A and B are shown apart, each in its own frame.
Chain A
Amino acid sequence: MTVVDDGAVPAGLGEPILELLNGFVVELRNAGIPVSLTENLDAMLAVKHIPLEDREAFKYALAATMVKNQSHWKAFETVFEIYFSLRGDQYDLNNQDGQNQDGDDQDQEGDGDQEGEGEGEGQGRGGGGNQMTPEELAQLLYQALMSGDRGLMKMVAKVSVKRFAGMEPGRPVGGTYYLYRTLRNLDLDGVMAKLMEQAREEVGGEMTPLEQRLTNDEYENRVDMLRKEIEAEIRRRLVADRGVEAMAKTLRKPLPEDVDFMHASREEMVKLRRAIYPLTRKLAVRLQRKRLHGRRGALDFRNTVRHSLSYGGVPAEPKFRRPRPKKPEIFIVADISGSVAAFARFTLHLVYAISGQFSKVRAFVFIDGLDEVTKFFEGTEDIVEAVHRVNTEADVVWVDGHSDYGHAFEVFWERYGKEIGPKTTVLILGDARNNYHSSQSWIIKAIRGKARSVFWLNPEPRSYWDTGDSIVGEYGQYCNGTFECRNLRQLEAFVDNLA
């Protein structure tokens, strides 16, 4: 169970470990995690108190001193796994022929879990499992999931990566590709079905829906564990093949708040959706406080008295309350076509989550036609559901379902223009890629003439604006401001200033 037992780094806290730690910190910073000098020094002190062979404790010590934001944990973990994964001969991609007798023991030491020992390991099946028949491997997989035994899972991971991933030295392919190839060959869905069948038989054929659900969730949890083992195995092999720095670079992923709305993968979308609740809650609390603050001109009683003492008790000057600013009314006009749909969803979500800060919020969505969707948000506390209905029920297609800002604005102006007043703030969301239709930008000018302010939020990087069919500049000249909102960080900052 050592952090670094590949022979390159002697045990004890010599120079090499500090050097490794330095490289580690550099990579954390590359991944966007801010590590200050103090924190770096703290980490060096901390590891002195941790026995190096306790890998988990080592990891937590580094995290506690250097990662001060939970949403950075995932990124930290990835870098950690790369820097402090086991390295050695047995992961050499050139050495595929199972002559690594002691490789197995070393392998299972990676995780510091005591129960992992025994069970599947060291029973003569070692040597990377090259002798195992497909049936034997299937059986091993079934048993690993059936028992949930960590050691067995590691073994399955090891054998199946070697057998199915098709890893070759120096091949410039990412880990996801190997993961996909490995998983495809394991037929996990089939195994899941078999496990469920078995569980059903055990209780005499009948399971209530609740029992089925719980059993299913337990097995899915185990499949997840197995997938993580497979990922770890692939990562170890890649590190051995390409070296730490190169791997760190390939695996670098943006932090959730920096994920680009327009290019988010499915997995990242899930992360974004998870991130949005805490974010809205934070925003709401913060804004609530801002308002309270504005009202209360706090009297510093103690200071007043201390002061009055030197005059023998002359009473203090009273402080005056600051007047509360009027709540604005918000109109959101959002393009919800293809690539910008996710951006519109998150913005609607954020604005509605803090709708208490506004006297009224109305939402309009468009592609080439336009529809008001305010009613979906009224009388429900479930914003996710409302946003979902916007996507499925709004009537936004006029001709062909390709963005036509000009036409959408015409409809908006015609139907709702008269309802815009001096208290209205209008937010327009979209990339302003107008498919070369006419812009009708006079409408934005007219809206600006009536409204308190008009802002344009664009999810594209500023450098793409006004290239190709983007005409955001033409609209922007009539707005009070145009903002790049590529990620949650930028969006949050904008919404924060809005209220």
Chain B
Amino acid sequence: MEARFESVPAVREALGKVDYLADEGIAGVVYLADRLGKPVLVEGPAGTGKTQLAKSVAEILGARLIRLQCYEGLDEAKALYEWNYKKQLLRIQAERNTKETGGNWDEMSDDIFSNEFLMTRPLLEAIRATDPVVLLIDEVDRVEIETEALLLEILSDYQVSIPELGTITATQIPLVFLTSNNTRELSEALKRRCLFLHIDYPDLEREREIVLTKVPDISENLADQVARIVRTIRNLELKKAPSVSETLDWANTLMLLGVQNVTEAEAVDTLHILLKYQTDIAKAAKELTSAPSKFQKTS
């Protein structure tokens, strides 16, 4: 199988070209996923670019993104495939009408459990694809642990078994990304099959770069200030720290308000965009408007 990427820096650079700022860890794992033919389990706080990573990788490869959005209650019929029972019933009906006897059941069963009546869902679609695809299994922690079992065959063997049809094996190994917000522990079986990538909040430099790339016309100075204030806020003990998407929302708001240089008052007035809990907002407001205590006396 052709390698998709030449080296770790090459991955990083390519992602940068589609406005995804990766760090060494992210680029390294994507590179390995390709070389080892293994899925990547991406975990981390909300809004740190987990979903976007899969999308951006698809973009740089010119591949089709096939997405399975997970939710509680997701089942085989929505994830893998489903028999088109309406069509099947119609066919049975039709058979009945033509042959008064009702026909031969075995024959008809072969007929109605054939490709013609199969409805492909994302996982099967990814396996059957002949064009380049990236499979994204988003928020996998939302399905029940029993449902995870549906994924195991795909993740290790890139194949799907359909009792009535047999086993369908992938003609190519697609890149697969699973994302999780870690609301529950995933099964060992699933984790064993995947490379693990934790995407944390970006460091100061990377966040500044993200703001610069994603917020049109923002000045270096404002991007820098935004990244710094967000870092300071993330260091507080909060219920929910601001995510990258919230940083971006905030930067956009500041731009709309025509702010060039963030003052205390402007920061405090717009904190509700960064933070969701009232107690967090109050805490951050207090911290941002009082100088660090140990240096107050000297000034």
Residues of A within 8 A of B (CB): 36, 38-39, 42, 45-46, 49-50, 54, 56-57, 60-61, 63-65, 67-68, 70, 73, 189, 193, 196-197, 200, 207-210, 212-214, 216-218, 221, 273-274, 277-278, 281-282, 285-286, 289, 292-293, 296, 298, 300-302, 305-306, 309-310, 312-313, 380-382, 384-385
Contacts and interface: CB of A to CB of B under 8 A. Distances in A.
Contacts of A289: 72, 144
Contact of A213 (B25, B43, B288, B299): B288
Contact of B295 (A46, A216, A286, A302): A216
Contacts of B185: 282
A285 to B, nearest CB: 4
A46 B184 CA distance: 28
A221 B234 CA distance: 13
B298 A193 contact: yes
Interface in B266-299: 267, 277-279, 287-292, 294-295, 298-299
A381 B239 CA distance: 10
Contacts of B198: 70, 73
B85 A209 contact: no
B88 interface: yes
Given A42-B38, A278-B182, A61 B279 contact: no
B24 interface: yes
Interface residues of B, number: 68
Given A38-B192, A213-B287, A285-B184, A208 B264 contact: yes
B298 to A, nearest CB: 7
Interface in B57-110: 72-73, 75-77, 82-83, 85, 88-89, 92, 102, 105, 109
Interface in B164-215: 182-185, 188, 191-192, 194-198, 204
Contact of A209 (B109, B262, B290): B290
* Interface residues of chain A: helix, strand, loop or mixed (majority): helix
B235 interface: yes
Interface stretch (B13-21, B27-35, B130-138, B248-256): B27-35
Contacts of A73: 198
B232 A42 contact: no
Contacts of B259: none
Given A208-B264, A381-B278, A381-B279, A285 B291 contact: no
A282 B32 contact: no
A213 B239 contact: no
B128 interface: no
Interface of B: 8, 24-25, 28-29, 31-32, 35-36, 38, 40-41, 43-44, 72-73, 75-77, 82-83, 85, 88-89, 92, 102, 105, 109, 112, 144, 182-185, 188, 191-192, 194-198, 204, 225, 228-229, 231-232, 235, 237, 239, 262-264, 267, 277-279, 287-292, 294-295, 298-299
Chain A to chain B: the 8 pairs with minimum beta-carbon distance, closest first: A212-B291, A60-B28, A285-B183, A68-B191, A209-B291, A64-B195, A216-B292, A305-B85
Contact of A60 (B25, B85, B112): B25
B182 A282 contact: yes
Contact of A312 (B24, B32, B92, B196): B92
A368 B172 CA distance: 70
A60 B12 CA distance: 14
Contact of A214 (B229, B278, B295): B229
B284 to A, nearest CB: 11
Nearest to B268: A210
B36 A56 contact: no
B72 A217 contact: no
Contacts of A70: 43-44, 182, 198
Contacts of B77: 301-302
Contacts of A221: 204, 231
Contacts of B89: 309, 313
Contact of B184 (A42, A68, A282, A306): A282
A214 B228 contact: yes
B232 A214 contact: yes
Query: Which of B35, B192, B291 has its CB near the most chain A CB atoms (within 10 A)?
Result: B291
Given A57-B24, A63-B196, A381 B291 contact: no
Contacts of B291: 207, 209, 212-213, 216
A334 to B, nearest CB: 22
A255 B235 CA distance: 22
B279 A385 contact: yes
A217 B279 contact: no
Contacts of A277: 239
Nearest to A293: B144
A411 to B, nearest CB: 32
A300 B197 CA distance: 35
A61 B192 contact: no
14 contacts: A64-B32, A64-B197, A67-B196, A70-B182, A200-B299, A209-B264, A209-B288, A209-B290, A213-B287, A286-B184, A301-B77, A302-B82, A312-B102, A381-B239
Contacts of B24: 56-57, 60
B36 A42 contact: yes
Contact of B196 (A64, A298, A384): A64
A64 B28 contact: yes
Given A39-B192, A216-B292, A217-B235, A61 B32 contact: yes
Contacts of B109: 310
A64 B42 CA distance: 10
